[in-house]
Each structure stands twice: as C-alpha cells, then as structure tokens.
Structure 1
C-alpha cells in the first residue's frame, strides 16, 4: 500500500523535527557563547564604523588573553553609566587605547600613552579637549571612540572594567560595500 501525499509529508516533518531542534540549539549556543551580530547605533566610531553597520563580535578569545591596544571591543556600560540611566544590558563599542599600568593623557589634540604621542590615522579628527595623565588600574582598560569629539567614552566616565567586555568586533557583514575584517591599525607611537 502506498502512502498518501499527506502522510508522506507528515513522515518527512516527523523525521526532520529532531534535526531542526538540534540546529536551533546549536545556533543559540553559538549566539550566546561564541559570536553574535551587533548593530552600530551611533556615530561614535566614525570613520571606522558608520551608524547602521552590522558586525560579528566574537566572544571567546578574551577568556584566554586580555584585549590588546587597538582592538575594537563591545561592552556593557560601567557602573557610572548605569547610575546615569544607561541599561546594564546595553552594548557600547569603542577602541582600546591603553591597558592596565599604562598612562594615558590628551593634550592639544594629541593622545599620549606612557608619554609618547599616538599616531592615530583611524580617527575622524583630533580631540578638542584635554585630559590630565591617568594610569589605568589593574583589571581595567581605557577606551575611546574613533570620533573623538562625539564619543561617550573613558575620557568622560573613566576606566572600563575588563569583566564588562562582551567581545572583540572582528568583521563587518553589512553593508556589502563595506564588508570585511575590522583588524584596522593599532594605535602606534608617532
């Protein structure tokens, strides 16, 4: 006796439900523990990232090593920003400028790390503010947006605890015209 089209369809669905459940679970595990897509909501990282860009943020490597100067990171806002009304689950994106033990200062439009001026070819324009020299404490980093004069970053609210870091922005997948890896230039000494 031959199966009817309806029973064949039902048999196909029954056989593939476990496959779909496993695929969904794997996708969720990847999203929560390995990598996730992120949307850029502001202009604070111009010209490197534009509002509306979509990125892949990998979440594993910082469990094995700390972020590096020049990395573009995604993070939850520090406590000071949460007190000011930012949602603790909101995500910010900035560039790591200084690591624990390093000193950072901004003077006359130039960012200095450990007293040396940084050559920052990736910024929109030089900062129009000064910041007295501060040393980054252990377990924290100093982050800045590439759009120095339009960025709510460490020069405003202080150091970022490393435990707030969600991951490393690695790849832009949208728009297609700007598709590619985000390994951009590291902040280098001039």
Structure 2
C-alpha cells in the first residue's frame, strides 16, 4: 500500500473537514471584495448621510416652530414665584397677540426689555450669541439678558396706583385682589401713581420683593413702560419639569376693573 498517497489523501480530507480548504479561503477573500459588499458599504454610508440630513431638517423645523409659533423659555430667577419657579420651561405662545389681539391685564408675558428695562444691550461675540440664541430657543439655556417674564398689571390708558388704604394696587380706581402674589409679599413697598401711555404696558413680578420690574425704572427713559410691540408672546403652559406640567390659567383679579372709557376689563 502506498502510505505516502494515503497520508496525502488524509491531509486533504482533514482540510475539508476543518473548513480550511485553500480554494474556499481564496473564494471567501474574493467575495469580500465583491461588488455586492461594496454596494452594501455605499448603502450604509448613504443611510448615515440621510440620517444626518434628517437630523438637521428636524432641528431647523424645531427652530422655525419656536421662532413663529411656540417657544420654550427657561425661567432664570424667582421673580415670578410661586406662579413660575427657577428652572421651569414655559411654552410661550407667539400667536397670542397676532391678528389684532393685544395683551390684557393679568397675562404673563415674555418681552424684550431693550429700551425699557435695559437701555443698552450687552455686547457679545456674534458666534457665541448665535449659539446661545439657538440653545435658548430650544429651552436648553437661559434666555438673553434682555428678555424678561412678568405679569401685565396695566395697559394703555390705565391709571395704576399703589397703594390704597388696604395696601392693595388700584387700577382705574378699583382695588385688585392679587392672590397670585408670593406668600408674605406686599403688593408693593414702592409707592407709585402712573398713567400707562397708549401702546405700552405696566408689568410687575408675582414675587414683588424679589422682582425688578416697571417700578424700578420709573426714573429712566420710558418710565418703566414696556412697548406692546416688544412683547414676544404669552406664557400659556409649563412644559418642564414633568411634575409641573400645567396650563397658566387666566386670573380673575382684574375682572371688575373698568377701562378709562368705562368698559369692563
């Protein structure tokens, strides 16, 4: 018997059993470089590209939605406690004052205080400002230093006085029962007697002892009045954190107040 031939045959059989046939190894190597594999790689890259474009498109859509419809606004201070707390994200309705609608007494509004609360906006790096603005528009960063959130107390033509004999704010001669105030706060420790010019608003925080508002700018240009066209929108909902999810219901504090022309507010 030819033992050499027998060993050779066994070696070939072992290679086939172990799956190490050189011909098959070469075949797998070729298949790895086949057009089908290259096609799959191209498809994977294309899918990643589409996912990237989809992500950019979603981000742009969110920014546009925030610019024209509803924008998240992060509460940076306690000036509106207990209604709004530090870290709350309120959803600002930018359509609230479109189509000839105007802010009303009791509304909680977000506005640009340039020219009223801030005489000169702070200078900042344009790129940094753009990135911060985008983050703020998504509610991921505190708002610009020129943006404020307060409650409307007087509208154009109103006479707002503090305080009456009971220590309350009066609007057009009627005392306002401000149940939304921070517990223990007085309606105001700063006396004032003003008439709100047409097209402007007199605004105050709910936490009167911790709020810089119209009262603090009486002696400055504009007298603390906020132009209506500087109002960004009305805060209608608390969207974050989840335990605070709620709508900001209208207050009935000004229900009995008459406008200067005699109509009820």
1:107 and 2:184 matched = no
- Normalising by the residue count of structure 2, what TM-score does the alignment of the two structures yield? 0.64
Q: Which deviations, in whole Å up to 9, do the C-alpha atoms of 1:20-47 show, x marking residues without a partner?
A: 4433332221122222111111111111
Aligned match for 1:76, one of 103, 112, 131? 112
- The question of whether the paired residues in 1 share the 8 Å contact of 2:110 and 2:150 is answered with yes
Kindly indicate whether residue 251 of structure 2 is the aligned counterpart of residue 185 of structure 1.
yes
8 Å Cα contact 2:118-2:146 kept in structure 1: no
Report the equivalent of 1:169: 235
Deviates more, 1:172-181 or 1:21-30: 21-30
Match of 2:194 among 134, 138, 156: 134
User: What is the rounded CA distance, in whole Å, between the counterparts of 2:64 and 2:175 in structure 1?
Assistant: 43
Structure number having the greater strand percentage = 1
Q: Secondary structure at the match of 1:104?
A: strand
Report the secondary structure of 1:25's partner residue.
Answer: helix
- TM-score when normalising by structure 1: 0.87
Listed one character per residue, the Cα deviations across residues 1-59 of structure 1 (whole Å, up to 9, x for unaligned) are 64554233123234455544433332221122222111111111111111111111121
Structure-2 separation of matches of 1:7 and 1:170: 48
The equivalent of 1:92 in structure 2 is 148
Which structure dedicates a bigger proportion of its chain to helix? 2
Q: Does 2:48 align with 1:13?
A: yes
Pick closer, same or farther for the CA change 1:116–1:167 going to 2, 3 Å: same
Measured after TM superposition, the shift of residue 73 of structure 1 is 0.4
Gap runs ≥5 in structure 1:
none
SS in 2 for 1:169: strand
For the 8 Å contact 2:114–2:146, the answer to whether it is kept is no
Q: How many aligned positions are there?
A: 189
Structure 1 stretches of at least 4 aligned residues deviating more than 6 Å after TM superposition: none
Q: Aligned Cα RMSD in Å?
A: 2.3
Q: Which runs of 5+ in 2 are unaligned?
A: 1-34, 123-143, 218-223, 258-265
Mean alpha-carbon deviation: is it higher for 146-155 or for 2-11? Answer: 2-11
Distance 2:177 2:44 in 1: 63
